[in-house]
Chains A and B, each alone.
Chain A
Amino acid sequence: MRRGTRLGVGERRSVVLGVGILAWLVALIWIFPVAWTLLTSFKTEQDAATQTLHQGLSFARYHDIAHSTPGTLSLQTAFMNSLVVVLVSTLIVLLLALPAAYALAIRPVHKWRDVLFFFISTKFLPVVASIFPIYVYAEKWNLIGTRTILIVLYIAINLPLAIWMTRSFFMEVPRELIEAAEIDGTSILNQLRSVILPIAAPGIAATALLCVIFAWNEYFYALQLNFASGSTMPQWVITNVSTRGNFLAKLSAASIVACLPVILAGWAAQKRMIRGLSMGALK
């Protein structure tokens, strides 16, 4: 007797194989710009400029960017700034969004639709429009160039999405479990901890990941409200752009380093993200 077959009835092995190959081709083409940039980051500047490979590969460019000339923004400073800003803002976003989602999903307020719409509508105002009033007040309160102002703004940016997604995940919690907890007289905090969070955990992880992605990659507010020692990673990448474009390899290395944390986080959490999305972010 043969080994068990994986093909369905009437399925041709060639078709299944073909789909797999097509998927691989598509993925390789799609990732090509990133792959090429990675390759370039190991080249010498001469090779990079002419898109050739005569002078071999090395980590030299990475060494360059890790040891910046004194007086310019260093990788380490920018990295720390980004790290603190992203982690603190995401944490606070979750602290605000979880109770809010509770109030929109588990024991909803009467006007939950309007409230949701309000939160989404906060994203209609172009960031570019509110920048001037924000700058004026930030300057008044000595917040220019600090991590604080960015944290405050990133929380506001990510809150609508976090609330929307967390609410959807809370809606997935079976009604009976919540009713049982209410009958037991459990406080909201304990309800969250023992009943709701364990079930919604993958979704909350997905939400947190998205907040991290958006906060880490944010460029505009950082550009307008930061300078020198307060800068974050996106700004640091831009400092590696020279107008003559002769430093393509160095820029490639900088790009890879800047994006690596989020890429790794995204890769690690993608299963959770997909599971979170299919669990009911889409209600």
Chain B
Amino acid sequence: MTAAAADVALKGRVGDPFSSAWRRRLPLLPALVYSIAITQLPFLVSIYYSFTNLKDKTQSLIPEPTKFIGIDNYKQIFSDPFFRQAVWTSVQMTVLAVVLSLVFGTMFALLLDRKFLGQGLVRTLLITPFLLMPVVAALIWKQQMFSSLFGLLDKALTFLGLSSVQFISSHPLASIVTVLVWQWTPFMMLIILAGLQSQPGDVLESANVDGASSLGIFRQLTLPHLRRYLELGALLGSIFIVQAFDAIDVMTGGGPGSTNIPYYVYQESIGGGFRYGSASAYAIVVVVFSIIIATFALRVLSSLFKDEERV
């Protein structure tokens, strides 16, 4: 053992501030400090605002002085029907988008799991929607596909002799979910594909020798193996999709069927309402619920963190 290493070990035993525990923490600190500073400080400020009636004074006719109003903002939340609507829309949007993109992603991954001519090119084409800017993706669907003036889908419908459909105005939620699924399916596909390819080949061969059909192998061995990957996809996908903003702003600009929680909070604050105090309260409520749900979900999805303890 070198002198330096012996030094460290000795210091560890004496409980020095430069003991082993702190040496372990040191590399973590820059990222941790940065994250706390940039994300928690606004959070704390938001908490403060949520107890006030802070508004943009230039926007209202009768200027009100900013004052501390306790939990009035919070009380108002639970009697706000529009918020409940936004929550319900958020749930629908997120669940539909996550589930559909997982299903499509798994199907595409199964297709890509075998070798065929041009497999690499097919994969390249399939992941492209994920690489697009969300605003561009939304614009493409809004203008090129859905639009009742120029849209291709519309032209296709009239070509087939069916009546034209106002996709975005009549089915706002479905339109937005379509764009989300189109963009996020490749992400799920890559995760599931990784899962499929991490299956040991000889296990699948053994199942074949033991008499299992292709469907049987998929059901009894592959799906259980994929469970971790499906869970990871659902978790990561939910975290991103629940925050969906760009598509809504571009396609519908809000509106009863398509406003999710982030958009609702946006409308409440700098998106038109300028009621920063109450918007903050909404945000805080959302964060608290997210943490509760996530803690519960992570306990259930324990397979993600079921790692051997590293010493």
Contact = CB atoms under 8 A, between A and B. Distances in A.
Asked if A and B form a direct contact in the complex, defined as CB atoms under 8 angstroms apart, the reply is yes
Contacts of A263: 128, 131-132
A36 interface: yes
Interface stretch (A23-31, A57-65, A67-75, A139-147): A23-31
Interface residues of B, number: 102
Given A126-B286, A263-B128, A277-B191, A258 B144 contact: no
A34 to B, nearest CB: 6
Contacts of B128: 31, 34, 263, 266-267
The dominant DSSP class at the B interface is: helix
Contact of A113 (B121, B271, B305): B305
The dominant DSSP class at the A interface is: helix
A124 B246 CA distance: 17
A125 B269 contact: no
Interface residues of A, number: 102
A237 B114 contact: no
A119 B35 CA distance: 8
Given A34-B129, A110-B21, A23 B283 contact: no
B234 interface: no
A131 B39 contact: no
Contact of B136 (A102, A125, A237): A237
Contacts of A96: 30-31, 34
Contact of B111 (A26, A103, A188, A274): A26
B208 to A, nearest CB: 9
Interface string B17-51: 00001011111101110110011111101100100
B155 A51 contact: yes
A278 B122 contact: no
B269 A131 contact: yes
B133 A258 contact: yes
Interface stretch (B61-69, B164-172, B193-201): B193-201
Interface stretch (B75-83, B92-100, B216-224, B290-298): B290-298
Given A245-B143, A266-B127, A278-B197, A130 B133 contact: no
Given A99-B27, A129-B46, A129-B282, A124 B21 contact: no
Interface string B106-133: 0010011010111101111111111111
Nearest to B195: A282
Given A23-B119, A31-B128, A224-B270, A125 B133 contact: no
Closest A-B pairs by Cβ, 6 of them: A129-B283, A20-B116, A99-B27, A278-B194, A103-B28, A100-B31
Given A27-B125, A128-B265, 7 more contacts: A26-B122, A99-B30, A99-B31, A153-B38, A245-B147, A259-B133, A282-B198
19 contacts: A19-B111, A20-B119, A23-B116, A37-B140, A50-B150, A97-B31, A99-B31, A107-B24, A108-B24, A117-B294, A124-B290, A129-B269, A159-B31, A220-B245, A248-B144, A255-B136, A255-B139, A266-B127, A282-B232
